[in-house]
A and B are shown apart, each in its own frame.
Chain A
Amino acid sequence: MRLLRAGITLAGFLLIWGLITAILGLPKFLLPSPLIVAEALLTHASLIADNAMTTAIEILVGLILGVLFGMVSALLISAYRPVKQWVFPLLIASQAIPVFAIAPLLVLWLGYGMAPKIVMSLLIIYFPVTVGFLDGLNRTEPVWLNLAGLLQQSGRTGRFRKLVNLYLYIKIPFALPSLASGIRVAAAIAPIGAVVGEWVGASSGLGYLMLHANARVQTDLMFASLLVLTAMALLIYYLIDALLLRALPWLSTHNNNTTQ
């Protein structure tokens, strides 16, 4: 049903696009018709595929690293007060700098390869993941903390071990839904980082390809790349969404039960 609806929306969109080009008779370097774009997609298939591969790797590696760094940061900030007091303001300040502004610097330092794009994705992703997870970790319900504290009283292990166990068995699992929201946002915006990085300086990738096509007025190729980029971003988002839903099965049924 969802697929059908998405298909109808897409078909409608293509139809309107086709009609506009047909009625207005725009030259193909301004707005190519869907058919011309499809043709470009086919003729340049291998070129687009190669470049899409680069961008996909950048996005995925950036996502994985960004989520990992974000989780570690959130854990440190939540568990250790001084980290929160000293590092958190810095974290927020880092978000005030637009990623576009540091892109040239990253290219200067890290070269024209994948590294600066991965770092760029990572920078964009890091913040929503950290904040989402941290929020979840700080919001464990007091009743649970009371109960856990009571359960831990009779234990003979040290304080550090108890804290680790408290995180492992109570705080982290309860924070997973918030972390999942953070990761969803991250998955949606990760392509921005990679593409911006490619615009500033790259030797391959969909952003690079679009910039070049634009400069040579190959508008059809540009649209074809844009379509592939969009499809890729959607695929990554829904893949991650599905993975998260599978990983947190108790959430789907959690809210609709009664005391009966």
Chain B
Amino acid sequence: MEPDNPTYSDAAESMPDVLHDQGEAGIGVDLSLDELVFDGDTILSDLNLELEPGKITCLLGPSGVGKSSILKILAGFIPLPGNSRVTTSDGKSLEGRLSYMDQKDLLLPWASVFDNLLIGNRLRGEIPYRVRADRLIKQVGLEKWRDSRPDTLSGGMRQRVALARTLMEGSSILLMDEPFSALDAITKFRLQGLAARLLTEKTVLLITHDPMEALRLGDVIYVLAGHPARLSEAIRPEKDIPRDPADDAFSQHYSAIMTRLAGETEDAS
């Protein structure tokens, strides 16, 4: 059960919104992918994905289409294939400027919430930024659980810790691989609201298979579908995030995206 904790959104709002300390608010990233082959099967080819500076770019598609592979290539978990290129708007390499958030919370099971936030500092042999960690714990509304171990927290709370740890790095580029997909609908909805507040001015790539999530959080949405998968035209819904699902425009986009996703799946099958 998600403990009843109505104060967390207020806490987040009363704090200065973003903690950016790399001092380079908007970096654009451009990935041009020649071809990605797994076991002789071409999954992606001729794909060009642009992450606009300071915007949340959502990559939406059915499972197994290769969304995560794109993210993993950017993160460096999969080596950049053949003639592919990653370019940034400031011409510098991505190395050291990325943070990553997974569907699984990837929290250290033996460490408290607080110590989980400090793991980056510790791994790099830096002096832990305790003040910053405490500020982020407050922003995600977990002050009371600061010294609790992850196994005593609910799934939603753990994912909030994971979000705080991702923000702890102060990177200007965030890669998020289905960060809320393991959560129940209500928890997911609240966390999307929190994320929308905390991710302003970051360049974010958000992978999701949930059109609702893409429409709530994406400044720019691409649908990835087919085999080998292709990117759709960019969808840029009006209004600022987090968008309200009750909105008319929201439901229009929603049905348009669903139609496209369903059509592509039929073609494939």
Query: Using a CB–CB distance below 8 Å, which chain A residues touch chain B?
Result: 143-144, 146-157, 161-162, 165-166, 168-170, 173, 248-250, 253-254, 257-260
Contacts and interface: CB of A to CB of B under 8 A. Distances in A.
Contacts of B126: 155
Nearest to B1: A260
A173 B100 contact: no
A253 B110 CA distance: 11
Nearest to B125: A157
Contacts of B152: 253
B40 interface: no
Given A173-B110, A259-B155, A150 B100 contact: yes
B106 A260 contact: no
B123 A259 contact: no
Interface in B94-123: 95-100, 102, 104, 106, 108-110, 119-120, 122-123
A150 B120 CA distance: 9
The 10 A-B pairs at the shortest CB distance, nearest first, are namely A155-B124, A154-B96, A259-B155, A157-B125, A153-B96, A151-B120, A250-B109, A253-B151, A250-B110, A146-B77
A148 B99 CA distance: 11
23 contacts: A143-B102, A143-B104, A143-B106, A146-B77, A147-B102, A149-B76, A151-B123, A151-B169, A152-B123, A153-B96, A153-B98, A155-B124, A155-B126, A161-B125, A165-B122, A165-B123, A165-B125, A173-B108, A173-B110, A249-B110, A250-B151, A257-B151, A260-B1
Contacts of B2: 260
B240 interface: no
A157 B123 CA distance: 10
B149 interface: yes
A32 B97 CA distance: 77
B251 interface: no
Contacts of A149: 76
A156 B110 CA distance: 27
B100 A147 contact: yes
A150 B166 CA distance: 11
A147 B100 CA distance: 7
A132 B56 CA distance: 45
A162 B96 CA distance: 14
Nearest to B122: A169
B244 interface: no
Interface in B121-135: 122-126
A201 to B, nearest CB: 45
A166 B124 CA distance: 9
Nearest to A173: B110
A7 B125 CA distance: 52
A154 B169 contact: yes
Interface of B: 1-2, 75-77, 95-100, 102, 104, 106, 108-110, 119-120, 122-126, 149, 151-152, 154-155, 169, 171, 182-184
Given A143-B102, A250-B151, A257-B151, A154 B125 contact: no
Contacts of B77: 146
A158 B133 CA distance: 25
A150 B125 contact: no
A252 to B, nearest CB: 9
Contacts of B171: 154
Contacts of A161: 125
A153 B151 contact: no
B106 A152 contact: no
Given A173-B110, A254-B109, A162 B75 contact: no
B155 A153 contact: no
B151 A260 contact: no
B109 A154 contact: no
B109 A169 contact: no
A257 B184 CA distance: 15
Contacts of B154: 260
A153 B120 CA distance: 10
Contacts of A250: 109-110, 149, 151
A154 B97 contact: yes
Contacts of B106: 143-144, 147
**Most chain A CB neighbours (cut-off 10 Å) among B96, B97, B169:** B96
A179 to B, nearest CB: 13
Contact of B155 (A151, A154, A248, A260): A260
Given A143-B102, A250-B110, A170 B123 contact: yes
